[in-house]
């Protein structure tokens, strides 16, 4: 079997990785056979639901117990990915790494016996939320390593930042990785037309040697699941209450007023009505300053007395 490219999206929590994958599927799925690996820190499957909403054909593998670059998941990752490639025979694999991942050893990862004959490293995108970069860039060593291994760095959400802030972030990133192409984007809107046709340069990750992975950050994680219908106003109050201690919150919540996709990233909240929600409310939250038990109780409270029609 010929080797196929592994494309990878990295970036801190809420930077736009899932949006990039949606764009890639919209552009290439259907005309190309694509497998997606979604690596989440908590077992919710929220991002997988988001990708399926594209309606595009693809095969998905969800690994939701930690980072695939951690020894805790390494063997499962190699075995599961090898099986996926052998069964589905895709033309490419796209890996969305958890925002907490440290991908500094990605080149060595693909030297694993199960993967070496099946995959080669095609291209790595790193997404950086320009509007929140100053808040999170010093939170963990993983962020610098995500930037250092990237071939293309997307300065995303530029519609939320001024020109001076964009130039400052661009200079900081260029100091970390002078080899990458840096592009300013909104909604991860990079050109993906020539992804399969244009020969790509040797990946930057191949130049990284001798760096040790950063320590795992201290983070609380919780998956909230609840049947019934919430009230949108109470949902908004719940989000405002926990926003100060949450780095990232995302999910789908059925409400009496409709079904809503909920996104919170470093204080920026986006609640968008969508066509429907299949099943109960599912929300994932990660951060450094909240009580998971209390959050579960408060989330359940906004559904109290509500029943699905």
Tell me, yes or no, whether 306 lies in a domain: no
Confidence at residue 277, expressed as pLDDT on a 0 to 100 scale: 76
The answer to whether residues 186 and 295 belong to one domain is no
Query: 103-132 burial by CB neighbour count: b if 16+ within 10 A, else e?
Result: bbbbbebbebebbeebbebbbbbbbbbbbb
> Which pLDDT does position 120 carry in this prediction?
92
Could you give the count of Cα atoms lying within 13 Å of 184 in the half-sphere of its Cβ? 16
Identify the bridge partners of residue 265 per DSSP, sorted by sequence position: 248, 268
* Residues 224 and 93 reside in one and the same domain: no
CATH number of the domain to which 231 belongs: 3.30.1220.10
Residue 128, helix vs strand vs coil: strand
123-171 pLDDT tens trace: 999 999 998 888 777 666 788 999 999 999 999 999 989 999 999 999 9
Q: Give me the number of domains the chain comprises.
A: 2
Residues of the chain scoring pLDDT < 70: 1, 41-45, 138-140, 198-200, 215-217, 305-309
* Position 212 in a domain: no
200 & 265 share domain: no
Q: Taking the alpha carbons of 33, 79, 64, 154 in that order, is the dihedral positive or negative?
A: negative
Structural domain contains residue 213: no
The verdict on residue 309 lying in a domain is no
* Assigned domain for 291 exists: yes
Co-location of 251 and 190 in the same domain: no
Sign, Cα dihedral of 23, 29, 30, 36: negative
Interstrand relation of 4-11 and 92-96 (parallel, antiparallel or unpaired): parallel
Burial label for 77, CB within 10 Å (0-12, 13-18, 19+), is buried
CB 69 within 8 A of CB 90: no
Examine the domain organization and report whether 171 and 266 are in the same domain: no
Pairing of strands 246-255, 281-287: antiparallel
| Domain end position, chosen among 182, 207, 232 | 207
38 and 181 fall within a common domain: yes
Q: Which of 156, 173, 207 is the last residue of a domain?
A: 207
Same domain, 231 and 191: no
Q: Is the domain of 246 the same as that of 201? A: no
Is residue 89 domain-resident? yes
Answer yes or no: do 283 and 185 share one domain.
Answer: no
In terms of domains, do 286 and 150 share one?
no
In which element (H, E) is residue 21 found?
helix 17-28
Q: 75 lies in a domain?
A: yes
Residues 98, 135, single domain; the answer is yes
Q: Tell me, what CATH number does 77's domain have? A: 3.40.50.300
User: Where among 207, 240, 265 does a domain terminate?
Assistant: 207
Q: The tokens of 127 are what?
A: 């997404």
**173 and 226 together in one domain:** no
Provide the domain limits for residue 254.
Answer: 220-301
């Amino acid at each position: 079997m010929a080797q196929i490219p592994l494309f990878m999206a990295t970036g801190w929590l809420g930077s736009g990785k899932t949006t990039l994958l949606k764009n890639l599927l919209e552009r290439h799925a259907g005309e190309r056979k694509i497998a997606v690996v979604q690596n989440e820190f908590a077992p919710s499957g929220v991002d997988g639901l988001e990708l399926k909403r594209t309606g595009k054909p693809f095969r998905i593998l969800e690994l939701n117990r930690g980072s695939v670059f951690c020894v805790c998941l390494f063997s499962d990752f190699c075995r599961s990915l090898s099986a996926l490639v052998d069964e589905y025979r895709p033309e490419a694999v796209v890996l969305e790494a958890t925002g907490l991942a440290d991908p500094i050893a990605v080149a060595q990862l693909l030297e694993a016996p199960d993967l070496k004959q099946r995959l080669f490293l095609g291209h790595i995108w790193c997404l950086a939320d320009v509007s929140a970069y100053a808040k999170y860039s010093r939170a963990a060593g993983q962020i610098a390593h995500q930037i250092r291994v990237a071939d293309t760095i997307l300065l995303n959400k530029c519609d939320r930042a001024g020109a001076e802030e964009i130039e400052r972030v661009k200079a900081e990133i260029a100091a970390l990785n002078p080899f990458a192409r840096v592009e300013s984007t909104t909604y991860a809107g990079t050109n993906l037309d020539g992804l399969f046709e244009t020969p790509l340069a040797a990946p930057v990750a191949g130049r990284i040697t001798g760096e040790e992975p950063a320590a795992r950050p201290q983070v609380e994680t919780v998956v909230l699941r609840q049947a019934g219908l919430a009230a949108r106003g109470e949902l908004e109050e719940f989000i405002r209450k926990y926003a100060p201690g949450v780095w990232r919150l995302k999910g789908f919540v059925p409400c009496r007023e409709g079904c809503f996709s909920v996104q919170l990233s470093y204080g920026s909240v986006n609640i968008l009505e969508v066509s429907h929600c299949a099943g109960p409310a599912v929300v994932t939250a990660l951060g450094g300053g909240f009580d998971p038990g209390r959050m579960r109780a408060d989330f359940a409270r906004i559904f109290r007395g509500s029943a699905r029609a």
